[in-house]
Amino acid sequence: MSRERNPPSRNVATVTATVAHALFEYARGQGHDPRALAARFDLSLDEVAAIDARIPAPTAQRLWAELPTILGDDNLGLHLGLHLAPMGALLPVLVMTNAATLGDGLVRGLEFQRVLGEGSEWVWGTGADGVVRIHYEFSDPVAAAPRHALEFGFSLLVLAARGVAGDDVAPAEMRFRHARPKDGREQDELFRCPIHYSQPRDEVHMRAELLSRPVRTANPMLLSHLEAHGRQLLSECAPSDTFAGRVERVVRSIVPREPSLDEVAEAMGCASRTLQRRLRDEGTSLQALFEKVRFERACELLRDRTLGVRAVAIELGFSEQAAFHRAFVRWSGMSPGRWRAALKSPAR
């Protein structure tokens, strides 16, 4: 009798099991036993094959961290994207390939990012140059998609777009938080655009004229069904307006001053112990939320080049610039000066 596996706790962020199943099936094609691999991660191959199955986000993190070594494939994300592109595979991609234009499809498809992974989203914006910039945001740095997961998502998106709008489809530019791979030639060949590594955030830039291209496989009826299904799946995901999210808004109203436990509890209408317990149940703490808000505010201020780093430190409530420097390195892995320089002149 197989060991009973419990569904993921709703206090733990989850991701779609579709990608895990695809990874195991890809491994089968490379000569590995998919059932043994699934069991290694305390998963059942049959259970992850279910169309709406979900797995804990930490398990997905382990998959992306360990499978490249197990399979001996340092470009696993790219290769899985190439493998799945002809099938569409993921809801946002299926939505994109059935919309009227690439741009319309991206807007509609990215609405369902939370179906793929709770606690993350893709944010869309257009610069003064008319280039559309789409960047990846996550509510907890620990839960951020790792290198291979991001390369998988980006490659699947670009390859699917080429399949329905022309083989010459290519981003204007791409940026990744992770360092350049030892051999980045496959990334260069697949994306066909400048790729910048060790950046403050993950982004893909698309020219407006490219996004206006019609989609050859547009199907309004199928699109309507896909979106209805997507909205149902969203309703089953953990709500985005969590208790921690509401606490974060209170913290944001207090920063740069460090909030006390008692004043936040009063604002939330609960006891201090209740505040601590509910945040702990959601995998966070008041201090973690304070650090998150401070980091986001620091990034906003650093984008204003009229402000010196010392002025940013003071604005954030740091008593000295050195303390801000240490905090920013802890948050982002790089100094404030390097982070700011990367915005202006990304290095290959």
Identify whether 311 is part of a domain: yes
Q: Distance between CA atoms of 108 and 87, rounded to whole angstroms?
A: 19
Instruction: Write down the pLDDT at residue 5.
Output: 45
Give the total residue count for the chain.
348
Residue 69 exposed, middle or buried by CB count within 10 Å (0-12, 13-18, 19+): exposed
Identify whether 10 is part of a domain: yes
CB 34 within 8 A of CB 25: yes
Written as six digits, the tokens of 89 are: 């595979």
Shared domain for 97 and 207, answered yes or no, is yes
Identify whether 207 is part of a domain: yes
Which among 23, 54, 71 is the end of a domain?
71
pLDDT tens-digit map of 95-117 = 999 988 888 888 788 878 878 88
Q: Distance between CA atoms of 266 and 7, rounded to whole angstroms?
A: 35
Shared domain for 210 and 78, answered yes or no, is yes
Ranges of residues in the chain whose predicted pLDDT is under 50: 1-10, 142, 345-348
Q: Distance between CA atoms of 270 and 273, rounded to whole angstroms?
A: 8
Written as six digits, the tokens of 69 are: 């070594």
**Number of structural domains in the chain:** 3
Number of Cα atoms under 13 Å in the Cβ half of residue 154: 32
Which among 37, 71, 105 is the end of a domain?
71
Shared domain for 126 and 199, answered yes or no, is yes
Q: What is the CB neighbour count within 10 angstroms for residue 268? A: 16
Identify whether 110 is part of a domain: yes
- Give the SS3 label for residue 307: coil
Shared domain for 109 and 37, answered yes or no, is no
Instruction: Write down the pLDDT at residue 343.
Output: 58
Identify whether 346 is part of a domain: no
CB 218 within 8 A of CB 100: yes
Shared domain for 231 and 112, answered yes or no, is yes
Which among 194, 213, 236 is the end of a domain?
236
Structure-derived torsion over alpha carbons of residues 285, 291, 293, 298, reported in degrees to the nearest 10? -170
Shared domain for 225 and 151, answered yes or no, is yes
Identify whether 208 is part of a domain: yes
Burial state string for 185-220 with b = 16 or more CB within 10 A and e = fewer than 16: ebbeebbebebbbbbbbbbbbbeeebbebebeebee
Shared domain for 84 and 205, answered yes or no, is yes
Instruction: Write down the pLDDT at residue 296.
Output: 80
Written as six digits, the tokens of 98 are: 């059935």
Shared domain for 160 and 79, answered yes or no, is yes
Strands 203-207 and 173-175, bridge-based pairing: antiparallel
Domain that holds residue 3: 1-71
Burial state string for 230-247 with b = 16 or more CB within 10 A and e = fewer than 16: beebeeebeeeebbbeeb
Instruction: Write down the pLDDT at residue 241.
Output: 56
Shared domain for 87 and 213, answered yes or no, is yes
The CATH number of whichever domain residue 248 belongs to comes to 1.10.10.60
Q: Distance between CA atoms of 88 and 215, rounded to whole angstroms?
A: 14
Identify whether 348 is part of a domain: no
Shared domain for 58 and 160, answered yes or no, is no
Shared domain for 38 and 12, answered yes or no, is yes
Phi-psi region of 283 (alpha: psi -120 to 50; beta: other; left: phi over 0): left
Shared domain for 30 and 114, answered yes or no, is no
DSSP secondary structure code for residue 101 in this structure? B
